[in-house]
Structure 1
Amino acid sequence: MGMLGRTATDRITVVSQDAHRFVRARHAHPQAQLIYAIGGVVSVTAPAGTWVVPPSRAVWVPAGIEHETKSYATVQFRALLIDPAEAKGLPDACAVVEVTPLLRELILRLAALAETPRDVEFSCAVTRLLLLELAFLPVEPLNLPTPQHMQLARFCDWIQSDPVRAVSLEEAASALHMSRSSFMRLFRRETGLSFAHWRQQARLLHALSLLAEGQSILNVALACGYDSPSAFSAMFRRSLGRSPSEYFGNFAGGQGRS
């Protein structure tokens, strides 16, 4: 099914996309956007970085921010375009939020209301409750910051293109013709992370996309530069508090996860 937008209330439009894969080229909306995949994994790339989220999470994109959206494997995708007047008090930068059972049902209810003749008062009540539920949810570290420094951004793209590649801090500094300490200061200033933390984050987000495609823990571990499934699973649990299968929960479509 193609991408389709329907009005849920005067201030919210629901965009639906059910497909094997999709890519939406860089664009911006005058409204804020809540991007949620009922099933599958979605990534959102904006000037500040990339966010990768499974069905238990959603991405918040404030109004006017250019971004690219794409899915991994089969996805059921819903996005809410929200008038900025309704989004007061919500983050003014892209962020990942947890989708609680209540928030999930509210998103689905708004999508259903957009499909059928609606009771305006009821639709507005659902909208108000959704925004209240969203406002108090924790932001999670599922993003990969993009440096604005041109040489460093190119270097980070190179690292991302091959997650298996092992690059030491000394090698990284040498690649940018810097001392070790100068590179460390530049990297943290540009990304807010240490080089080691950023590289682990890049591998984690790559792993989420591979898990969404149904790849086994062994394949994902090797594709992300880990020597064993246990080492990969330990990193995943340290980062997100759960094993891969627990994190994806009932939405995990692949085999062989542990």
Structure 2
Amino acid sequence: MNIEKKTVDPSTHVGHVIDPQRPVLSISMERRGAELVTRHAHLRGQLLYAIRGVMRTSTDKGAWLVPPAQAVWIPPGVMHEVEMTQPVSFRSIYIDPAYNDGLPDSCCVLRVTPLLRAMILEASRIGNEYAKGSAEWRLMVVIVDQLQKIEQFPFHLPFSDEPRIRRIIDTLTENPADDQTLAEWATHAGASERTLGRLFLKHLGMSFGSWRRRLRLLEAMNRLADGAPVNEVAFELGYASPSAFIAMFRENLGEPPARFFNESNRNRAADART
């Protein structure tokens, strides 16, 4: 797959404008093909909201998948890249550092409520020229307030450069359906099963099994958003049956894939009409 690489110019990008008189600045983007926005950071915090398509944001500490109608929060100063492998429509809002109190201090995917979604779209419509104290300014302040309250989604996949687990991470990322047990991995890694288990907890904050399930969830989200059938995704990712896959999906996201993506599609259609 050919992927176009793009860079961010800090001299012209709104994410580098420091102006407490304008708490929120925004941009709207439509991407028609595969694209990688190379490593960069913003002086403002960024909320990257996906209307259509799936985006993957990566830092040195891990990756965050942004499914349709959800958003990823990227704190100011965090080096990251954004990858899109399919057509994507998104809105980004950038929060001035003067309003950072109470906002997450690390990257996370956020559940975008109908209220927040409407305000993101309205902020994009208003644009970046508004006066302090105006109705537009008050809306921007409410956006910041809403960001302090909303629920996080489990779409983070932590990384580590610890050599004994990096090989496992790289192999599973290439083939999420790999079903080797931790004991089997131990024979290749030069460490005992118990040591590998401790390394996953220490460096990734979760067990080997939890990390692999998270990887498969993120890969499933990517494929389902691209239109792949649930049965196909379940078997390709190593699940014994579609029902086992649906149970995993429901356990993590609170509803089965069909309902989750139907809600995303409704939100997306509403956004397109706005």
TM-score, with length taken from structure 2: 0.84
Which ranges of 4 or more aligned residues in structure 1 deviate by more than 4 Å? 2-9, 117-120
2:217 matched residue in structure 1: 204
Name whichever of 227-236 and 205-214 sits farther off.
227-236
1:104 correspondence with 2:113: no
Task: Tell me the amino acid that sits aligned with residue 163 of structure 1.
Answer: P
Which segments of 5 or more consecutive residues in structure 2 lack a partner in the other structure?
1-5, 267-274
TM-score, with length taken from structure 1: 0.89
Percent identity for Structure 1 against Structure 2: 35
C-alpha distance after superposition, 1:157-190 (max 9, x if no partner): 1111101211101012222211111111111101
The RMSD of aligned alpha carbons is 2.3
Which segments of 5 or more consecutive residues in structure 1 lack a partner in the other structure?
254-258
- For the residue of structure 1 that corresponds to 2:54, the secondary structure is strand
1:256 matched residue in structure 2: none
2:246 matched residue in structure 1: 233
> How big is the shift at 1:236?
0.7
> Does the 8 Å contact 1:97/1:140 carry over to 2?
yes
Correspondent of 2:143 among 130, 137, 155: 130
- For residues 78 and 174 of structure 1, the distance between their equivalents in structure 2, rounded to whole angstroms, comes to 47
- For residues 151 and 252 of structure 1, the distance between their equivalents in structure 2, rounded to whole angstroms, comes to 41
- For residues 133 and 249 of structure 1, the distance between their equivalents in structure 2, rounded to whole angstroms, comes to 24
C-alpha distance after superposition, 1:94-152 (max 9, x if no partner): 1111100000011001100117x645522221111111111011222111111231342
2:28 matched residue in structure 1: 16
2:87 matched residue in structure 1: 74
C-alpha distance after superposition, 1:22-62 (max 9, x if no partner): 32112111111111111222221111111112234211110
Within 5 Å, give how 1:236-251 maps onto structure 2: 236-251=249-264
1:113 matched residue in structure 2: 126
CA 1:73–1:251 in structure 2 vs 1: closer, same or farther (change >3 Å)? Answer: farther
- For residues 32 and 86 of structure 1, the distance between their equivalents in structure 2, rounded to whole angstroms, comes to 9
CA 1:170–1:221 in structure 2 vs 1: closer, same or farther (change >3 Å)? Answer: same
- For residues 204 and 79 of structure 2, the distance between their equivalents in structure 1, rounded to whole angstroms, comes to 19
- For the residue of structure 2 that corresponds to 1:73, the secondary structure is coil
Correspondent of 2:228 among 203, 215, 223: 215
Correspondent of 2:66 among 40, 46, 53: 53
Q: How many residues are aligned here?
A: 251
> How big is the shift at 1:209?
0.6
Name whichever of 222-231 and 187-196 sits farther off.
222-231
- For the residue of structure 2 that corresponds to 1:201, the secondary structure is helix
> How big is the shift at 1:84?
1.3
